[in-house]
Amino acid sequence: MVRIRLRRVGLKKQPSYRIVVANDESPRDGRFLEIVGFYNPRTEPITLTVAEDRVYHWLSVGAQPSEAVERLLKNAGVLDRFARFKKGEAVETLLAEAKAAQ
């Protein structure tokens, strides 16, 4: 199964994360298919950058987000917009809305 999950990067005791699409059998910092975002919990406010069109693609082909990524995407409104994408709303309007929300 393919999962969207966090991959730890950064120095010791200074974590930041890449949001990657990887096989669920790969190690946490191992092989991945694509980088779809970045998350830094150490900044104030928290930095979250997501390529929403790629997240929509991977979710539509069956990738499952991990619990942490699902929480991040839900807080950013990505999962709500993905539900509207599945109902047939145009990707361009959703991406424009996401850009305006930032």
Q: The domain that contains 88 carries what CATH number?
A: 3.30.1320.10
Cβ within 8 Å of residue 100, ≥6 positions away = none
Better-predicted residue by pLDDT, 84 or 37: 37
Query: Per the structure, how many domains does the chain have?
Result: 1
Angle between helices 78-86 and 91-101 (to 10 degrees): 160
Instruction: Answer whether residue 27 shows pLDDT above 80.
Output: yes
pTM score > 0.85 for this model?
A: yes
- Boundaries of domain holding 36: 2-101
Task: Read off the pLDDT of residues 49-88 as tens digits, 9 standing for 90 and up.
Answer: 999 899 999 999 999 999 999 999 999 989 988 888 888 8
Q: Which two tokens stand for residue 85?
A: 């994408």
Per-residue pLDDT at 28: 85
What average pLDDT does the chain have?
Answer: 91
Element (H, E) at 39: strand 34-40
